[in-house]
Amino acid sequence: MELPPKIWFRLQRLKKSLRSAFGSKDEVSFETAHRMCPNCRGLIDRSASVCPLCGVSLRSARARSGTGSGRVLGLIPVPSTASSAVIAITIALYGITWYMTQSAAAATLSPAPSFGGISGNTLVRFGAKFGPAIVFGHQWWRLVTAIFLHGGLLHIGFNLWCLFDLGPIVESLFSTTKFILIYLVTGVAGFLLSFWLRTLSMVPSVGASGAILGLIGILIAASFHHGSLGKAYRSQLWRWVIYIFVFSLLPGVDLAAHVGGFVSGMALGYIIPEGEPASRSEENVWNALAVLSVLVIAGSFALMALHLGQAVR
């Protein structure tokens, strides 16, 4: 029995994501050869200007986003677009906070944290989730900036490893505009739950783990739409969840942020449709939401910079 074009298209997309996740060397790119007609949802040639199935005129195909652009040393998938931007911001902020930590330690003639650690004072200055500052200073932007900060080399290394694998998969499966919203919402949801449970905690909390668990959550939810193939993929994702939550039991790890990110990701997986927007109006909505998400992130960092300048003076 032949599968409907829409179902077959989704299965092929998920297969490609699986190949990317587990390092398949298959070089045939389904994404670059075909696309889905936004009118009849049929699978057609990517270069077609008219759908051969329903006759509707089509716009020129956009370059696919969110897929890996190759592998470093044949091992590490290199993400593009939104994933690259998130990784670049994360690495840049880690470098800046590490430098500030070293400078502060040298100025006070005290030892700097080992293993590339970042001091708590530096993390708070650069936008960590810090309950007293949120409650008494109304600095809600910390729920955003904290997503891009990390407390040490192992912390950022593990999160970037996960993001290198999961980011391109979510971008490919859902689209770049949806990825931006998903990453922001799940990251904020994680820190919001953490703040609610430990409102006046004097321990700052940072990291992309909540957003990363959000990516895992949305992939698990989406896998339920793909039958036996989705079930096999889901078992792999649940292993990620188990490993991360076991790690979350260690002292100093923000378990609440992990739970909040994962639960919000699962919820979004049942709400947000896969693939590129199917119509012009839907595309406009997602573009607007993505722009709004970028503005929220940029605005949060602008407020962090203003607060940092005030702290310096």
pTM for the predicted model, two decimal places: 0.75
Report which DSSP code applies to 77: E
Mapped onto helix, strand or coil, the DSSP state of residue 293 is helix
Report which DSSP code applies to 275: S
- Which residues in the chain are classed under CATH 1.20.1540.10? 81-312
Question: What confidence score (pLDDT) does residue 79 get?
Answer: 45
How large is the average pLDDT for residues 286-298? 96
- The confidence band for 13, taking pLDDT boundaries of 50, 70 and 90, is low
Please determine, for residue 1, whether its predicted confidence score (pLDDT) is greater than 80: no
Domain 81-312 has CATH 3.30.43.10: no
Higher pLDDT, 173 or 13: 173
Residues marked as catalytic: 209, 258
Please determine, for residue 73, whether its predicted confidence score (pLDDT) is greater than 50: no
Report which DSSP code applies to 198: S
Question: What confidence score (pLDDT) does residue 40 get?
Answer: 58
Task: Look over the chain and give the mean of its residue pLDDT values, rounded to a whole number.
Answer: 81
- The confidence band for 35, taking pLDDT boundaries of 50, 70 and 90, is low
Three-class DSSP labels, 130-153: CHHHHHHHCCCCHHHHHHHCCCCH
Question: What confidence score (pLDDT) does residue 37 get?
Answer: 62
Instruction: Give pLDDT tens digits for 248-266.
Output: 787 788 999 999 999 999 9
Percent of the chain with pLDDT over 90: 47
Please determine, for residue 20, whether its predicted confidence score (pLDDT) is greater than 70: no
Q: What is the per-residue DSSP string for 41-67? A: --EEETT-SB-TTT--B-PPPPPP-SS
Question: What confidence score (pLDDT) does residue 293 get?
Answer: 97
How large is the average pLDDT for residues 214-219? 94
Please determine, for residue 173, whether its predicted confidence score (pLDDT) is greater than 80: yes
117: closest CA among 147, 86, 156? 156
Question: What confidence score (pLDDT) does residue 301 get?
Answer: 96
Phi, psi of 207 (to 5 degrees): 130, 155
Beta bridge partners of 36: 43
Question: What confidence score (pLDDT) does residue 69 get?
Answer: 45
